[in-house]
Structure 1
Amino acid sequence: MGTKIPISITGNLVADPELTISESGVAHAKLRVAVNQRIQGTDGTWRDGEPVFHNVSAFRALAENVANSLKKGDPVHVAGELEFRAYDKDGERRESRRIIAETIGPDLRFGITVYQRSTHPSPRPDAEVHADPHASVTGLSSVPSYIVSTKSPVVVPPFGPATGNEMSW
């Protein structure tokens, strides 16, 4: 039995999500997220600290959506439970930790996305799911698509230019 602790992290994907389908038809995506701490020096300048790497697991529809939507380098926010496990390997006691994700999404401080709702038929054991970071967002599809168009901060009016009694930017 492991200990589970609520956790929320924001970082970048170190590699593309790895999606597998179990024999019982449950989708499982494995992710690795790097989180860098910002450290302020005595002179007031900021620098990146040492990255902390987190193993993340997502299941079912979340796993499929992650595999179809995100790719290496994407900024993400993950919320879930931190799970600690102890096991024996080669007669030696070891411990591991991973985050069991409840939600995963792109970090919108660094880009924009287009949300597309999807329906999720129950996966078949022989089904193949492939990530397509260039999925079309113009037509309706059962494959969700997040398109991060830039990694630098973007400031845009929320609904176009002001046209009357609205505030202008």
Structure 2
Amino acid sequence: MNTKILITIAGNLVADPELTIGESGTPHAKLRVAVNQRIQNPDGTWRDGEPVFHNVSAFRMLAENAASSLKKGDPVMVSGELEFRAYDKDGERREARRIIADTIGPDLRFGTATYQRAARPVVESEAVVEATGPEATTATGWPVYNVSTKGPVVTSPFGGVLTNDMTM
């Protein structure tokens, strides 16, 4: 049974994100985030508790965007799935945990940020659809939609586009 543990943390980056490209060509960013607990003293003053360090992995566009946007010391928020794994090292059984990130962003409690949408590379064949039926997709696998009718583009096996309009 695979149990998903969703988690959100807020902390500071301990180092710059490390971006690597896997054998399959998938970008992978490794981040290390320190989370400090704030503790109130009996006299009402606050102090930092012991930091807890989290390993974070991000993949694909999230990895590329995190690596180009974030740097050591930045306050961040990370949301994703907590993963546990066990391994043997020098004959000793060890356990590790990491967060597989779904989202990463700056923590705006401590500053401001300007959002810039990343440009998605356009594939030439996206404009031309060679598939038929309601499952027609572009080269990137995204379904093809007609903007004016807000429905899928359905092509006939004999050529031409079928319409969903009923005429009387």
TM-score by length of 2: 0.69
Contact 1:7 1:82 in 2 (8 A): yes
Alignment root-mean-square deviation, CA: 1.7
SS at match of 1:25: coil
Per-residue deviation, 1:121: 4.0
Aligned position for 1:108:
108
Distance 2:3 2:27 in 1: 23
Distance 1:100 1:14 in 2: 17
Aligned position for 1:71:
71
Following TM superposition, where does structure 1 have runs of at least 4 consecutive aligned residues deviating by more than 2 angstroms? 1-4, 119-122
Distance 1:2 1:121 in 2: 35
Aligned position for 1:91:
91
**Larger RCO, structures 1/2 (Cα 8 Å, 6+ apart):** 1
Distance 1:8 1:37 in 2: 14
> How many residue pairs are counted as aligned between the two chains?
122
Distance 1:89 1:120 in 2: 42
User: Which aligned pairs between 1:110-129 and structure 2 lie closer than 5 A?
Assistant: 110-121=110-121
User: Which aligned pairs between 1:1-169 and structure 2 lie closer than 5 A?
Assistant: 4-121=4-121
Aligned position for 2:165:
none
Question: Residues 8-31 of structure 1: CA distance to partner in whole angstroms, max 9, x if unpaired?
Answer: 000000000000001211000000
Per-residue deviation, 1:96: 0.3
Q: Match for 1:95: what amino acid?
A: E
Larger Rg: 2
Distance 1:89 1:114 in 2: 44
Aligned position for 2:159:
none
Contact 1:13 1:73 in 2 (8 A): yes
**Unaligned residue ranges in structure 2 (runs of 5+):** 123-168
Question: Residues 123-161 of structure 1: CA distance to partner in whole angstroms, max 9, x if unpaired?
Answer: xxxxxxxxxxxxxxxxxxxxxxxxxxxxxxxxxxxxxxx
TM-score by length of 1: 0.68
- Percentage identity across aligned positions? 81
Distance 1:41 1:84 in 2: 34
Per-residue deviation, 1:109: 1.0
Aligned position for 2:155:
none
Per-residue deviation, 1:90: 2.0
Distance 1:11 1:32 in 2: 10
